[in-house]
Structure formats: C-alpha cells, structure tokens
Amino acid sequence: MFKETQESIDFLNPFYNEAKIGIILGTGLGALVNDLLIEHAVPYAEIPHFPVSTVESHQGKLLFGKLNTVPVIVMQGRFHYYEGYSMQQVSYPVRVLKQLGVKTLFISNASGGLNPNFKVSDLMLITDHINLLPEHPLRGKNNDQLGPRFPDMSEPYDLKLIEIAKQVAKDINISLQEGVYVAVQGPALETPAEYKYLRIIGGDTVGMSTVPENIVARHMGMRVFAVSVITDLGVPGLIKKISLQDVLQAAAKAEPQLTRLIHEMVKRV
C-alpha cells in the first residue's frame, strides 16, 4: 500500500496546493464546491490505484482549490464497502490526502436518525461512533510508516473542532444536534427491528460510511471532524418507505446550513 500511495502522490504532485485541510463530501452534499475556487479537478479514474465512485450522487473527482482563501483538497464523492470495495480501498484516499500534507479531515454524510428528538434535515455533530462494519480497514500487516499497530481511539472526533463547530453554530444561528453514528454495511436500509436494536446499543444515527475514513485518519494522526445530515427517521411510528430521491431532497434542504458551517470552520481552523 505504501508503494501504491506513493504512485498516487507522484501523479497528484503537479496539482499540490499546500492544503492542510481535506473535505469528504457525502451523499447530496456537493453544493460546497460551488463556493470553491477550483484550481484543478482530477477524476478519480485518472489517479493511479484510486477506486471509482459507482453511486449516482457521487461525482468522483478530487478537487484542489481554495475556500475562503484557504487551500483545501475536496473529495467530491466517496467509496463504500457495499460497492464491492475492500475497506483498504474505501479508505485509500485518506492515505493519499495525508501524504499530500492534509492534517485535518472534515467528513460529511447522510444518515438515518435513530434519536426521537431528531428531525429530517437536522445536522448532527458526530461525537463518537459504533463500528458494525464486517471488515476493518487496518486488518492485515501493519506498516509502521503509516501509523501504529494499535491506534488509540479514545478521541475519534477532535474535541477542539467540535467546540469550534458549536461556537460557529451559535455565532451564525445554526441549530446542531450531537450524537453517536453507527456504521453498517448496507446497501439495504434497516428494518424496524434493526433500527430499534441500533438505538438500544447507543446510536443516534445510522449510515454506511465515515467510520473507515475516520479510523485510517486517526491511525495516521489526523484530526477528524464529521457531520451527519439526517435524511430519514428510524424512529418507531415515524418509519416510512424512502427512495434515493427522498434522501437527496432532505440533504439539499440542510445543505445551505452545512455549507455555512464548513465555510466558517475552515476560516477558524
């Protein structure tokens, strides 16, 4: 993997913009790129060893540019285990971002709300997670050049970044929920009994991403901040059939607030 990562970096070096912040945009949360001064847009398919997005709402480009004059690298679309990729492939771009100089990773996702106090299109700061995915991104021989064999996970999501987000939300009058994100395999959505189980074990939202990227980022010593957009509810009495279009509509409603939050955080970080 170290050799493959180096080959990806060698390809991307001409686009290097000294970014210390990386951003992963989740399902239906791509409007941030409209505010990005894009210097280079590199399709994933052109980057050596990069997976290719297969999900309809993920554009599949690595963007180098500036947000509020701050250099950033943005993943316009991500990868999921349910697409058939291994966890090493799912998290591979995070390895590349780190080697390109990124120290802080912002992650967004769309998720199902388990907490009865949540509403569709709410934003939730992820304070912790529960990993129910069937494979671990660090499984296999460890490369000490990338990180320790047994990385500490006592602070998976950076507490200082969470506090900055709370202050930003207060300053610009945005409502934020907080809670625990549960990662599952997918791609099928949960049954009512599964929603109930996930709530019992401590989940506030459930989704199919984010945790592999978080684990690999923490393995390499990166700071991580993550936000979920609640796109549907897995709460007894409020569960209903949903489609991808429903998810995209709920995400689109929340997108302006999420964009404002990320804008301001990038300036303050």
What angle, 0 to 180 degrees and rounded to 10, lies between the N-to-C axes of helices 2-12 and 87-99? 50
| More confident position, 243 or 105 | 105
Point out the least confidently predicted range of 2-6, 13-17, 146-150, 251-255.
2-6
Spatial separation of the C-alpha atoms in residues 127 and 159, rounded to whole Å: 8
- pLDDT score of 77 more than 90: no
Categorize the per-residue pLDDT at 107 as very low, low, confident or very high, splitting at 50, 70 and 90: very high
pLDDT of 26 reads 85
- The mean per-residue pLDDT over the stretch 212-221 comes to 97
* DSSP letters spanning 47-58: STT-----STT-
Q: 125: which DSSP letter?
A: E
Of the listed ranges 121-130, 219-228, 233-242, the least confidently predicted one is 233-242
% of residues, the chain, pLDDT over 90: 84
Amino acid identity, position 217: A
Contact 63, 19 (CB under 8 A): no
Residues 6+ apart with CB under 8 A from 260: 172, 174
**Which whole number is the average pLDDT over 73-81?**
92
Q: Are 31 and 83 in contact (CB under 8 A)?
A: no
Instruction: Dump pLDDT digits (tens) for 133-175.
Output: 999 999 999 989 889 999 999 999 999 999 999 999 999 999 9
Angle between helices 87-99 and 211-219 (to 10 degrees): 50
83 vs 3: which has the higher pLDDT: 83
If pLDDT is split at 50, 70 and 90, which confidence band does 56 have?
low
Residues 6+ apart with CB under 8 A from 134: 81, 185
Amino acid at 96: V
Range 2-268: architecture per CATH = 3-Layer(aba) Sandwich (3.40)
Q: Taking the model in full, what pTM does it have?
A: 0.94
What are 11-46's pLDDT values in tens digits?
A: 999 998 899 999 999 876 778 888 899 999 999 999
pLDDT level of residue 55 (50, 70, 90 thresholds): low
Number of Cβ within a 10 Å radius of residue 42: 17
Residue 259: the pLDDT is 92
In the prediction, which pLDDT does 57 show? Answer: 52
**Which pLDDT band holds residue 264 (cuts at 50, 70, 90)?**
very high
Average pLDDT over residues 233-262: 91
